[in-house]
């Protein structure tokens, strides 16, 4: 017999920079001087130039072993102009709605299971991201034998 549901508190994730409160406050004049430098960078070179300079400075800080946040962007550039992109094959609105139902169903199943056992659902976000890849592949790329071709042989490990 299953044990009765337990109440669980769901808190916010810890702030990764909460330790900063333990450090001494930086000198106000020094902070103001750095802020003025950023203002001057934007004024003289524009926002793009200021961003590039700051990214280089953050990179230097990381190379010196300082724990500073990464840029959160990649060097990926889409080489296909938007005007040359083919139209999306399918109905985006319906597919989005189906994806939402599938994700909602997974989340509800995990929430229900967590009433009976802790630790279930740690990879819910893993499911969501990998499911998007699988759905796009199955709906738009992988082909069966019914279209006159030999058909794709798909082996998904994961």
123 versus 113: the higher-pLDDT residue is 113
Indicate yes or no: pTM above 0.95.
no
* pLDDT tier at 6, thresholds 50, 70, 90: very low
Asked if the model's pLDDT at residue 9 lies above 60, the reply is no
Copy the structure tokens of residue 97.
Answer: 């709605």
Distances (CA, A) of 64 to 76, 97, 105, 110: 26, 47, 46, 42
Asked if the model's pLDDT at residue 18 lies above 90, the reply is no
- Asked if 47 and 40 count as a contact pair (C-beta separation under 8 A), the reply is no
Copy the structure tokens of residue 54.
Answer: 């700051």
Asked if the model's pLDDT at residue 38 lies above 90, the reply is yes
Distances (CA, A) of 107 to 77, 104, 130: 34, 5, 15
Least confident range of 7-11, 51-55, 59-63 = 7-11
Copy the structure tokens of residue 116.
Answer: 């009976």
DSSP letter assigned to residue 20: G
- Asked if 26 and 35 count as a contact pair (C-beta separation under 8 A), the reply is no
Which residue in 76, 80, 131, 65 sits closest to 102, CA to CA?
131
- Round the CA-based radius of gyration of the chain to a whole number and report it: 25
């Amino acid at each position: 017999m299953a044990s009765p549901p337990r109440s669980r508190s769901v808190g916010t994730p810890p702030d990764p920079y909460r330790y900063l409160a333990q450090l001494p406050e930086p000198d106000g004049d020094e902070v103001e001087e750095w802020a003025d430098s950023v203002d001057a960078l934007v004024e003289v070179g524009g926002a793009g130039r200021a961003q590039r300079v700051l990214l280089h400075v953050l990179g230097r800080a990381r190379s010196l072993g300082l724990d500073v946040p990464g840029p959160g962007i990649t060097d990926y550039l889409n080489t296909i102009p938007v005007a040359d992109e083919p139209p999306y094959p399918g109905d985006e609105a319906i597919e989005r709605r189906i994806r939402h139902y599938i994700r909602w169903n997974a989340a509800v199943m995990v929430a229900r299971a967590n009433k009976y056992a802790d630790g279930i659902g740690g990879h819910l976000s893993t499911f969501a991201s990998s499911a998007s890849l699988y759905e796009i592949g199955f709906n738009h790329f992988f082909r069966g034998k019914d279209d006159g071709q030999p058909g794709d042989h798909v082996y998904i490990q994961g």
